[in-house]
Chain A
Amino acid sequence: MNTTAVFDSREQTHQSLERLRAAAGRLNRPVKFMEICGTHTMSAFRCGLHSLMPENVTLLSGPGCPVCVTSQSDIDQLIDLAHHAKATICTYGDMLRVAGSHGSLEECRAAGADIRMVYSSLDAVEIARLDFSRQVVFAAVGFETTTPSSAVAVLEAERMGLHNFTILSSHKRIMPAMRALLDSGDVRIDGFLCPGHVAVIVGADVFEPIVRNYHLPCIIAGFEGPQIAAALARLTELVADGTPALENYYSQAVTAHGNTTAQKVIEQVFVPADWQWRGLGDLKDSGLALRPHYAHFDARLRFSVRREQVKETPGCRCGDVITGRATPPECRLFATACTPVRAIGPCMVSSEGTCQAWFKYSRVKFARKAGVLS
C-alpha cells in the first residue's frame, strides 16, 4: 500500500532474498523452519513471501495461533456457561467461529445466548461492573502476549470488589509447546522463527535453551514481510554454516529479559498448570491457571464446570498441521469439507490459522476445488 508512512522495502527484501537463496544453495537439502506466531503466519502469506522463497526452504506454522491450540473442551465449557449458567460470555473476535464439539460461540449467540465480542479484557470487567445481575465470564485466551491483560482484568475486578466477574483461562505458555514438539521426535525442524509478540513479554533469553539443548538456530523477528525475509535468510545461513545461535532481529521491541512488569503481573495472578492443547494433547506446565488466592475469579470453580475429554473431529488434521507434521492440503478435509465458510478445524477458523492462510492467500487449485473460485 502506498502510504507515505510505509518505506520502500523492496531493496531490503531483495537483498534478504538473495542471501536466503545463496545460503539455501549451499545446503543442497530441504530445510524447514517453523514460526510459532499467528501474526507471522498471516504476514508471510499476506506479503506473498512463500512465493518468493527457494524451493528447498519451507516455512511451517507451529502451534502459535491461540485459537488453533484452544481445545474443543474449552469452547464447550464456554458454551455450557452461556446456555446453562446464563452467563454473559466476553470473547475476542476470532474465538467466535471456532467449533467446539457441538457448535461455535457464534451459533450459540444466534440461538440467543449473550455472547459479546470485546477488544480488551477490561471491556469485560466494565460489562460486569455495569450490570451486577449478570454473571460475566471472560474467555481468557492467548499466549504470554495476552496473559498480562487477563491478569490486569482479574486485579481490577478484585479492586472493584466485583462478584459477578470470572475468567475461563485457556492461557498457554510457548516454551513447553516448543519443547514438546522437539521432544516428540517425529517433527524435523531446522530452526525457529521466534514469536516477536511473546518475546516482548518473556524476553529473548527464554529461547536460549533451544539453541543449547537442541542445537537449532532461533531468530526473534518482527512482523513486516522484509523483517521475516531477513530472519529467514539469517536462519538459513546459520544452518548452512552449522553455527546455531539465538539472534534478536526485533530489538526495537524485545530485550534480553523482556517486560518484567508484565511478567510480575502474570506471576502474581497465574500459576503454570498442566494443560490440554489441540493437536498436542496434555502438556506439563504448559498452561496458566489462576492462583488459589484468585480462585474466586475462576469460572470453572464458580460454576463447577467439568472438563471433559473431547474427541477431536474425525479426519481433521489440525493437530498435525500445527505441529508441522502435515501441510493443510495433506488433510482430506482441507478445501473440501473444511473451508473458511464451513470451518471444521480451528486452523481454518482463525484468520491466523495455517489452513485459512493457505486457503485464502496461496493455493489456487484448492480454492477452485472448493468452488470458492469458479
Chain B
Amino acid sequence: MTAASPSRKTSSTGSRISLAHGGGGQLTDELFVSAILPRLGNSVLNDLLDSAQFAGAGRLAMTIDSYIVQPLKFPGGDIGRLCISGTVNDLAVCGARPLGIALSLILTEGLDRQVLEDVLDSIAATANLADVKVVTGDTKVVGHGHGDGIYITTAGVGAAGPYVLHPSQVRPGDVLIISGPIADHGMAVMLARQMPHVKSAVRSDVAPLNHMIADLLEGVPGVVFLRDPTRGGLAGVAADLAARTGLHITLNETDIPVRPQTLHAADMLGIDPLDVANEGKIVVVVRPDSAAQALEALREDKHGKEACIVGSVGVDEDGICELRTSMGGRRILQKPYGEQLPRIC
C-alpha cells in the first residue's frame, strides 16, 4: 500500500487480499458478494450451502474445501483427519451420503517423506471411519518458499437424500441444538500454533459426523436445517441463519456447552468461544416437538453425547441473533469479521 493512496479504503478492505479475507467471517462474505458471485453466480452457487445439490442429475451433492492448517499435527488431529472430516461433514449436513473424495496435494520441496506418509495414514484412517473412499487425486510440488509443507484440497461427491434442509424451512418456534461443547478445534490449533511451549488439555474435536447425521435424519422427522459451525463458530452459524431466515434467533449463554480448559484458553487470548471454529460439531434446527427426539438420537452417537438445546427461533422478523447472557443481560451476536486477533491485555 503506497502512502499516496488517496482514497481511504482502510484496514482490511484495501486493494490487496489480506489474511482476514480467508477467515470465514464478514470479510470472506464480502469477497463472495463483491468479487465471486458477480462473475460466477448461478442458481446453485448463490444458495451458499455447504454442498451444492444438482436437482436434475440423479440427485448428487458436491462440495470442495482447502486445508492450510499449521501445525500439520495438533492435539486431537492433523490435516489428514481434518480434510476428510471437513468434506464428509459438508456433504452430510446437506443430507447427502458421501460417495467418494477427490484429493489434491500441494507439497513443498524438501518436505520430510515421513510427514507426508503420516498424513496419508491419517487420511486413510479417517476415510475408513467415515466409510468413504478417496477415488481420485492429484499431486503437485512447489519450490522452497512457495508453500508451507502440505496444502490439501478435497472435493466430495455424495448421494443426496430425501431431506430438504434449507434456511427457507426454518419457522418461528424451531429449536437450535448443538451436538457438543464448542470451540475445541480452533483453540487447540491456535494454542499449538502460537504457544507450542504451553501444555494444554484442549484437544480438537475434528471428526467425521456422517454416521451421526444419517442416524439423526433417518430417526427424526422434524429436522429442518443442519450446519457444521466451522470458521465463524456458533455465532457465525446462528447470525447467518437469522439473516437468511429474516427471523429473530435467541441463544442462551447458560445452555451453551464449553469445556473449562477451552474457555480459559479463549479468555486468556481475549477471544469469544462463540466465534471459534469447530470441526466435529453440528448445529441442528428442529421442530419443537421433535427436539427431545433429536437430542436422544444425537446422544446415541459418541460425537453427540453432550448435545443440548441452546436456543430457539422467534417470531420477530428482524433477522437478528441475540444472546441471553448468563447474567440475564442481552446482546447481539454477529458473524466475526475475519482473522481472530488476540487482545493486548
Contacts and interface: CB of A to CB of B under 8 A. Distances in A.
Interface of A: 1-6, 9-10, 13-14, 38-39, 42, 45-52, 66-67, 92-97, 99, 101-104, 106-111, 117, 119, 141-143, 145-146, 197, 225-226, 229, 313, 340-344, 349-352, 360-362, 364, 367-368, 372-374
A110 B16 contact: yes
Contacts of A38: 343-345
B137 interface: no
Interface string B305-341: 0000000000000111001111111111010011001
Nearest to B27: A341
A94 B331 contact: no
B260 A341 contact: no
B328 A107 contact: no
B327 A94 contact: no
B331 A117 contact: no
Contacts of B338: 341
Given A102-B1, A102-B2, A109-B18, 19 more contacts: A1-B257, A4-B260, A6-B260, A6-B263, A48-B325, A52-B329, A93-B344, A103-B10, A104-B10, A109-B19, A110-B16, A226-B327, A341-B338, A342-B13, A350-B343, A352-B344, A373-B242, A373-B243, A373-B319
A49 B342 contact: no
Nearest to B5: A102
Judged by DSSP, the binding face of A is loop
Contacts of B319: 373-374
Given A111-B1, A372-B26, A373-B319, A93 B342 contact: yes
Contacts of A97: 11-12, 20, 341
Given A38-B343, A94-B344, A351-B270, A48 B13 contact: no
A348 to B, nearest CB: 9
B14 interface: yes
A372 B240 CA distance: 10
A119 B331 contact: no
A103 B10 CA distance: 6
Given A48-B323, A111-B1, A361-B331, A99 B344 contact: no
Contacts of B144: none
Nearest to A97: B11
Interface in B270-287: 270, 272-273
A344 B246 contact: no
B30 interface: yes
A352 B331 contact: no
Contacts of B13: 341-342
Instruction: Determine which residue in A10, A45, A94, A373 has the highest number of CB atoms from chain B within 10 A of its CB, and name it.
Output: A373
B14 A1 contact: no
B57 interface: no
B260 A3 contact: yes
Interface stretch (B42-50, B211-219, B248-256): B248-256
Instruction: Determine which residue in A51, A96, A106 has the highest number of CB atoms from chain B within 10 A of its CB, and name it.
Output: A106
Contacts of A145: 345
Contact of B332 (A67, A341, A360): A360
Nearest to A14: B328
Contact of B8 (A13, A110, A344, A372): A344
Instruction: Determine which residue in A4, A197, A340 has the highest number of CB atoms from chain B within 10 A of its CB, and name it.
Output: A340
Contacts of B334: 360, 367, 372-373
A342 B13 CA distance: 6
Given A104-B11, A349-B11, A367-B334, A1 B18 contact: no
Nearest to A361: B331
A2 B310 CA distance: 11
Contact of A3 (B26, B242, B258, B342): B258
A149 B3 CA distance: 32
Interface residues of B, number: 61
Given A1-B258, A364-B318, A107 B331 contact: no
B305 to A, nearest CB: 15
B344 A67 contact: yes
A93 B341 contact: yes
A2 B257 CA distance: 6
Nearest to B14: A107
Contacts of B16: 107, 110-111
Contact of A93 (B27, B263, B343): B343
B256 A1 contact: yes
Interface string B134-149: 0000000000000000
Interface in B27-44: 27, 30
26 contacts: A1-B256, A1-B263, A3-B257, A3-B258, A5-B260, A10-B327, A52-B329, A92-B344, A93-B341, A93-B343, A107-B11, A107-B18, A109-B18, A111-B16, A119-B195, A141-B344, A197-B345, A341-B26, A341-B30, A341-B338, A343-B11, A344-B8, A344-B10, A351-B341, A367-B334, A374-B246
Contacts of A6: 260, 263, 326
A126 to B, nearest CB: 11
Contact of A107 (B1, B273, B318, B329): B1
A146 B344 CA distance: 8
Contacts of A110: 1, 14, 16-19
B194 interface: yes
A1 B326 contact: yes
Nearest to B345: A145
B325 A47 contact: yes
Nearest to B259: A3
Contacts of B30: 341
Nearest to B29: A341
Contact of B331 (A14, A48, A351): A48
Nearest to B324: A48
B327 A13 contact: yes
B130 to A, nearest CB: 30
Contact of B11 (A46, A66, A99, A119): A99
B331 A51 contact: yes
Instruction: Determine which residue in A96, A109, A351, A368 has the highest number of CB atoms from chain B within 10 A of its CB, and name it.
Output: A351
B341 A117 contact: yes
Contacts of B330: 48, 51
Contacts of B329: 47-52, 225
A3 B263 contact: yes
